A and B are shown apart, each in its own frame.
Chain A
Amino acid sequence: MKRKKLRRAEDLFFTWVMRACLMTAAVVLGLILFVIFWRGIGALSWEMVSQPPSGGFYLSQGGGGVFHAIVGSLYLAAGATLLASLIAVPVVLYIHVYSPNGRLANNLRLALDIMWGIPSIVYGAFGFALMIYLGMRASLLAGIITLALVVLPILARTFDEVVSMAPRHLHETTFSLGSTRLEFLGVLLRQTVPGLLTAVLLAFGRGIGDAASVLFTAGFTNNMPEGLLRPVASLPLAVFFQLGTPFPEVQARAYASALILTVIILTISILAQLSISRLGRHVIR
């Protein structure tokens, strides 16, 4: 009897330990958001989000905002996501159409999983090495290419999971109508578009937040983006550089920029969540 009570108490104890662990994580998340909002909201103004910097921005007497970095980040992330999807989507569909469990498919998944684990600073260094070979300067294009490498595994693996949830009878139906595999690939794409949206949003969010890969490759500037071959500003680096100045006014702008970045990320994250739950309703189980 005593032993039974002891076992029950142990069971209860560990259940609460686990709950406490998750609750701590929730509290920390809350704290992060709270601190970022509370410190950022003070310096936030319409000027911050709508104008590029004007003279002496990093010396505390300048005006303007980080509009150039917002636009720059959007360009970088959009370009990288687009480039990565152009490569990832056909390839993922291909392995599902031709041989979902074949050796190539498994090797590809392993390679993508490993690429997911490579730190973005290493991609940054690789991008930099590539730029030297090609004789390129830091530019939007170089940033997009490097960032595409960072988001490619995220996009491909997420999309891969989505496609593997596609109903089996789709194969049978389409092939029994005499389609070639390429034509089936088109059908499969139409079926998985909502899931693709989730994967794209996740990749886009990661792309906006990543700084280490664009540090050498996209450079930084105080101007609005001017072209594919010109350097471009990005929001994470704007936060970083503003924080690095010794002036409290500029540092306050860093807090505001971080708030803008966080709001963008939260929006994308919520959109991704919504697209996942919408997807859930359409998946045939």
Chain B
Amino acid sequence: MQPLSIRKLNVWYGKQQALKDITVDIPYHQITAIIGPSGCGKSTLLKSFNRLLDLNEQVRINGQILFDGENIYAPGVDVTDIRTRIGLLAQKPFPLPMSIYDNVAYGPRIHGLANGNLSQIVTAQLQAVGLWDEVKERLKDPATGLSGGQQQRLCLARTLAVQPEVLLCDESTASLDPISARGIEELLRGFKDKYTLVLVTHDIDQARRLADYVIFMWLGELVEHGPARRFFEQPQQELTQAYLAREIG
């Protein structure tokens, strides 16, 4: 069962083609890592999954992305629904300009998920990301007062609070210090049995540590993809071998 299937996806920024004919399946309840040098289109691919690419008016997209068998780029699809079911953890932590509590509560509120137990949801999500003990005394404080690592965990809790099925992470540890980054990594590893995770990273070691499945991109093209063990131990393409040996990139 594949929750996300990409079929012949092409993306252009203006006249420049950013993704060329991508066809790949994202495995269910595993961690998929999209790797490649910067500018290879890995973030573009990730953001095409929840249609955040649409925000950029220069962008032209054709091809299909099937989510639960339904093309998310078909006309008449409810974009907000797609974005609810496919959550995103951004590159830099961006707490909304409101309190810690409201940051987590915002999603459940607008989606009407609370049914009167909003604070239970908030508590549960903050516990799930290991932030509860650090912030329980100051839930009403502005979220911008937290440290970088705390902010990113808060953003994770905020994303999880809308109960997504897929979680996208766009180099979500790149802007953090190594210890906070490891913390986030541990959390993501633990989420495997609940969510399908897709993460973009330029850090090969991180992909080695976390990924079950790897997609390697190069200049907008998909070079190689496969289960992590096979990908790292017996890469099929010369380009992949060179990249893993850090000769290129």
The residues of A with any CB-CB pair to B shorter than 8 Å are 3-4, 7-8
Contacts and interface: CB of A to CB of B under 8 A. Distances in A.
Contacts, number: 8
Contact of A8 (B78, B111, B112): B78
A4 B83 CA distance: 13
A4 B110 contact: no
B112 A3 contact: yes
B117 interface: no
A3 B78 CA distance: 13
A7 B81 contact: no
Given A3-B111, A4-B78, 6 more contacts: A3-B112, A4-B81, A7-B80, A7-B110, A8-B78, A8-B80
Closest 5 CB pairs of A and B: A3-B112, A4-B81, A8-B78, A7-B110, A4-B78
A120 B222 CA distance: 63
Interface string B75-107: 000101100000000000000000000000000
A6 to B, nearest CB: 9
Contacts of B110: 7
A7 B110 CA distance: 9
- Sort chain B's interface into a size bin: under 10
A3 B80 CA distance: 13
Contacts of A3: 111-112
A3 B114 CA distance: 13
8 contacts: A3-B111, A3-B112, A4-B78, A4-B81, A7-B80, A7-B110, A8-B78, A8-B80
A24 to B, nearest CB: 26
A35 B187 CA distance: 68
Nearest to B84: A4
B54 to A, nearest CB: 15
A118 to B, nearest CB: 33
Contacts of A7: 80, 110
A8 B112 CA distance: 13
Contacts of A4: 78, 81
A204 B105 CA distance: 53
A8 B80 CA distance: 9
A8 B84 CA distance: 14
Contacts of B81: 4
A4 B82 CA distance: 12
A100 B111 CA distance: 46
Contacts of B111: 3
B162 to A, nearest CB: 13
Interface in B102-124: 110-112
Nearest to A3: B112
A7 B79 CA distance: 12
A193 to B, nearest CB: 28
A11 to B, nearest CB: 8
Nearest to B111: A3
B76 to A, nearest CB: 12
Contacts of B78: 4, 8
Nearest to B113: A3
B118 to A, nearest CB: 15
A7 B109 CA distance: 12
Contacts of A8: 78, 80
A3 B109 CA distance: 11
A8 B111 CA distance: 11
A272 B78 CA distance: 42
Contacts of B112: 3
A281 to B, nearest CB: 15
